Structure formats: structure tokens, C-alpha cells
Structure 1
Amino acid sequence: MQKEKGFTLLELLVVIVILSLIAALVIPRITGRVDEAKIETTKVQLKELKRALEMYKLDNGMYPTTEQGLKALVEKPKTPPEPKKWKKYLDSVPKDGWGNDFVYISPAEKHPFELKSKGPDGELGTEDDISVWDEN
């Protein structure tokens, strides 16, 4: 009499349970790192945009207006006030870590301009917004 080779249902269930436990431990750690990476990427992009805006001001004596927006760093604005010594400051306007446009307002209340990301939830005015003026 030959004994059939293979796994029993119980053995398969044990393997599935073990894999599920491993996944339950590993996946949250991986996804947490992804969120952290998106936040750090967004902060770096904000700093680069701020540097480009500072260069724009040095060359032209003013920041782009809210209406001109960050696009003024890529192509010369056609809406007044037109910059006198405009240069191309960026190849393209980046998006934040979640694929959303940055919010740019100039002039702003507390700073010469406001530059921020809406953060992970994609909604402006919530506690997860990331501002270029945050000290983190």
C-alpha cells in the first residue's frame, strides 16, 4: 500500500495562519515607512520651492503673486506685475508626496508668502498640513 504525498488541510491552515501573523506584523511597519518617506519628500520639495522663490525675489524684487502661482518659476508670468529679470528657476513644478499641487499664497498673513502641502488627507486647513515655515 502506497501512502500519498501531500499536505493535510490542517497543515495548510497552520501555514496560512502563520503567514497571516507575519503579514500583520510586517505590513504596518512598511506602510508607516512609506508615509514617513512621503512626508520627508514633501518637506524637501517645499525647501527647494522656497529656494526658487527666494531666487525669483532676488532677481525681480518681488515674489510671484498668488494669481501667478508657482508656475512663475517655470515660465515667465504674463499677468501683472511682470518680472523684469525673469529666469527659469525650475524645470517643472513638483507635486507633494501624495500627488497633489502645493498651495501658494502671496502675500500671506505672517510671512511674505505661504507655501504648504495639504498633507496625507489632501484637505487644506487640517492638522496634517505641512508648511514650508514649520520648523521640522
Structure 2
Amino acid sequence: MPRPPVSPRRKPRRNGFTLVELMVVIVIIGLLATVVMINVLPSQDKAMTTKARADIATLGQAMEMYRLDNMRYPPSLEALAQPRPSGGGAYVRSLPEDPWGRPYQLSVPGPNNSPFDIASLGADGTPGGQNENADIRASAQP
């Protein structure tokens, strides 16, 4: 059986992607990233607020332990990280910062006749605010 004639000039085959194919892939990746960010960012704000509430509760318990040992509340949160006078470790291992990287605020006495008030100023770092910028606080019961 005779072979078909081979043309002497065949177009070379190019491997790779065209510019249009690359642009379509980039647009799809961008859309997926946008959908993920829209769903993840609100969860991060909620987690930071929850962490601040947990830290404040832990510091409140340490304040009460300090009062039981010393018959008064400490003048500052730094006193909670000092060794106990009766021996043993500190009331807290180390003072945490709020989730936004600022120190927690302590007021002794607190507002409304409470013995103390521990607060984080929220994401914006200023008093007041709403949503993630709202202050997070816990006062001891009088």
C-alpha cells in the first residue's frame, strides 16, 4: 500500500496556553478568592471578639484570686503577673494583649459601684463604637 505524500512544510505544533486562556483562569481565581474572603472575614472578627471576652474573664478570675490573698484588688493588671506573696506562681503567666495588639484597660473601682472593670477598646482602639469597634468589658459584681 503506498504511503500518502508527506508535505515538506508542516506547521510546527506549539505547546502552551494562549493569552485568552490565561486571562480566563486568572478571572476565575479572582472570583473564587473574593467569595472566600467575603465568607471568612466576618468569622475572624467574631473570633477576635470571643478571644477578648475569654481573656477578660480570665483576668477577672485572677483579680478575685488576688483579692482573696491580699484583701484588696490590685492597682494594675501588672500586679497579676507578679509572684504571689504566699509563694507559688503568679495569678496569670503573662498579661495578654487584646486581639488587636493593645493592652487591656483596668479601672479600680469600676463604674456603677463595681469593684473593678476590665475592658478592651475594640478594633478601633477608641472608647465606644459599634460592631467590631465596640468596647468589650466586664465589671465585677458589687
Report 1:58-69 matches (<5 A).
58-65=68-75, 69=76
Unaligned runs of 5+ in 2: 1-10
Runs of 4+ aligned residues of structure 1 deviating over 3 Å after TM superposition are: 83-87
Q: State the secondary structure of the residue aligned to 2:106.
A: strand
Amino acid at match of 2:122: G
- Deviation at 1:125? 3.2
Paired residues, number = 124
- Deviation at 1:32? 2.1
- State the alpha-carbon separation in 2 of the partners of residues 73 and 86 from structure 1: 14
Amino acid at match of 1:113: F
The aligned residue for residue 57 of structure 1 is 67
Contact 1:59/1:86 (<8 A) preserved: no
The aligned residue for residue 119 of structure 2 is 116
The aligned residue for residue 101 of structure 1 is 103
1:19 matches 2:21: no
Identity between Structure 1 and Structure 2 (%): 36
Contact 1:106/1:114 (<8 A) preserved: yes
- Deviation at 1:84? 7.5
Greater CA deviation, 92-101 or 31-40? 31-40
Q: Could you tell me the TM-score, scaled by structure 2's length?
A: 0.78
Q: Could you tell me the TM-score, scaled by structure 1's length?
A: 0.81
The aligned residue for residue 80 of structure 1 is none
- State the alpha-carbon separation in 2 of the partners of residues 33 and 42 from structure 1: 14
- Cα 1:86–1:102 shift into 2, 3 Å: farther
- State the alpha-carbon separation in 1 of the partners of residues 85 and 44 from structure 2: 42
RMSD between superposed Cα atoms in Å = 2.0
- Deviation at 1:3? 2.1
